[in-house]
Structure 1
């Protein structure tokens, strides 16, 4: 995720970052402009076409298309923001669990270290699980929890959470945790699985195919029929006008596609790497 100053207007206006849709859409923008020039030449210089009120239909359709894009953007942002809330919950629950374990187990540094490693590994595994998959060699080994242990199941976060529950149960059986203390930390333990489940729901439930397909078709038809009417009124100036309209509408759809799956490594995705480092630093300090 990119950190920036939203109040720095001039810098943002003239910035052409690699995440800017202008770069990815540039071939399409040039193609639309060239297509408009060809249509303008055919209509104005060959057929000498003359229509009246040629832009009215596109004005009406443009309003409807704008409403569809607003809904599309809001839906994608809701998914992005829900993902951010879930990862904020990871931060808070990791801190709460570490603080409680630190208070309940003051004379057991090895046990606290085990929990610190397991919780840190869980957050790392959750982050990579939502991307391309977990590489167990990146997880820290401690005691019986080594690469072989983490490789036993496909869902590595579940494997690690099972280990955390086993450690808690062992402490309870050896009376190093009371029933009341077990009840106090259960909410944080449960929240980890709830959070990863919420993230998986976002990642694996894209916008309905029919809606996405329809919106792309409408944008295509709208942009590629614009020159037919606009070149009569605006002549060759219709080329930059149509290109700008294409850039605006297509950019909204491209941005929505990027942020609706917010757990990747794109510039506008959630800063899960930074959040992981924050949690790791907090656990190192507390435990």
Structure 2
């Protein structure tokens, strides 16, 4: 995810990094080139004049725009829900660490819990992205615990189990009193529910058939559009086709990116930065500095 200050209106017209233009450039060039050819041939194919006007394209364009708007709204709802769930992990980790420090008889024992929460945050990032968490986990867990987490099918769930085990160990040792355990377990339950919500979003994409219908409709519309505009606007046809095609192609590409908010595209969630924020926030309660490297600005988001 790219986070930047609000740009001047003129710079917004030419911004490249973070836009979907690099993704849609090949099909945009192909559509515009096809429109140029049709314009030069005056809308004829092999001496057959394709008799179309802009009326059907107006009706189809409105319908297509409605479907695209609905798909993008659904994709953004998934994106925002994912960001809300990750924010809950941040708040829950911070609260759980504060509870362990204030409710335990030995504040030093809370360090182990804090480290396991940091490991959990990084494990969530790697599980959702399908990457190896070892490099981050080794800063917070023992070698045996790192092996347990990284070899698990669901590393974040395993890291959360280690956090839950801390409560049992400290309850048996007398560091925690029984009446304080429900408060800690409630915070842990919020972390588990947030993880489950992220897993649900990651494993349940928007129905494929719906995406195929929109994809085919957009391409058919853009490649037939020059025939409907050529007689009305002449040599301006390629320009108008390029603008309309850019709008439809860009909206489709943006919806595809937002549909999977845990990826590494420019408009996906900044998981690395969020995990680092959880780590920094938790360790600050222990008066310790973060142990991993802060992500670059392009992948940094405020909590």
Scaled by the length of structure 1, the TM-score of the pair is 0.92
Change in CA separation of 1:143 and 1:49 when aligned onto 2, cut-off 3 Å: closer
Measure how far apart 1:237 and its partner are.
1.5
What is the match of residue 236 of structure 1? 235
- Out of 104, 109, 114, which is 1:116 matched to? 114
Greater mean alpha carbon deviation, residues 270-279 or residues 179-188: 270-279
Q: How does 1:46-61 map to 2 (within 5 A)?
A: 47=47, 49=49, 51=51, 54-61=53-60
What is the match of residue 89 of structure 2? 90
What is the match of residue 106 of structure 2? 107
RMSD between aligned alpha carbons? 2.1
Identify the structure with bigger relative contact order (alpha carbons < 8 Å, sequence gap 6+).
1
What is the match of residue 124 of structure 2? 126
CA deviation profile, 1:111-142 (whole Å, cap 9, x unmatched): 22211111100000001100023332431354
Conserved 8 A contact 1:84-1:270: yes
Measure how far apart 1:213 and its partner are.
0.6
Conserved 8 A contact 2:122-2:133: no
CA deviation profile, 1:21-63 (whole Å, cap 9, x unmatched): 2222222222111111222233368859595x71011001101
Conserved 8 A contact 2:105-2:176: no
Conserved 8 A contact 2:106-2:175: no
Measure how far apart 1:186 and its partner are.
0.9
What is the match of residue 26 of structure 2? 27
Conserved 8 A contact 1:86-1:198: yes
Q: How does 1:178-197 map to 2 (within 5 A)?
A: 178-197=177-196
CA deviation profile, 1:181-225 (whole Å, cap 9, x unmatched): 101111111111111110111111111111111001110111111
Conserved 8 A contact 1:126-1:196: yes
What is the match of residue 257 of structure 1? 256
Find the aligned partners of 1:118 and 1:63 in 2 and give their Cα distance: 52
What is the match of residue 284 of structure 1? 283
Change in CA separation of 1:142 and 1:211 when aligned onto 2, cut-off 3 Å: closer
Q: Does 2:11 correspond to 1:11?
A: yes
| Structure 1 unaligned residues grouped into runs of 5+ | none
Q: How does 1:125-164 map to 2 (within 5 A)?
A: 125-139=123-137, 140-143=139-142, 145-164=144-163
Conserved 8 A contact 2:118-2:140: no
Measure how far apart 1:282 and its partner are.
1.5
Measure how far apart 1:89 and its partner are.
0.3
The count of corresponding residues between Structure 1 and Structure 2 is 284
| Structure 2 unaligned residues grouped into runs of 5+ | 287-303
Conserved 8 A contact 1:44-1:235: no
What is the match of residue 2 of structure 1? 2
Change in CA separation of 1:155 and 1:44 when aligned onto 2, cut-off 3 Å: closer
Measure how far apart 1:281 and its partner are.
1.2
CA deviation profile, 1:62-96 (whole Å, cap 9, x unmatched): 01011001101100100010011001101110111
Find the aligned partners of 1:239 and 1:38 in 2 and give their Cα distance: 9
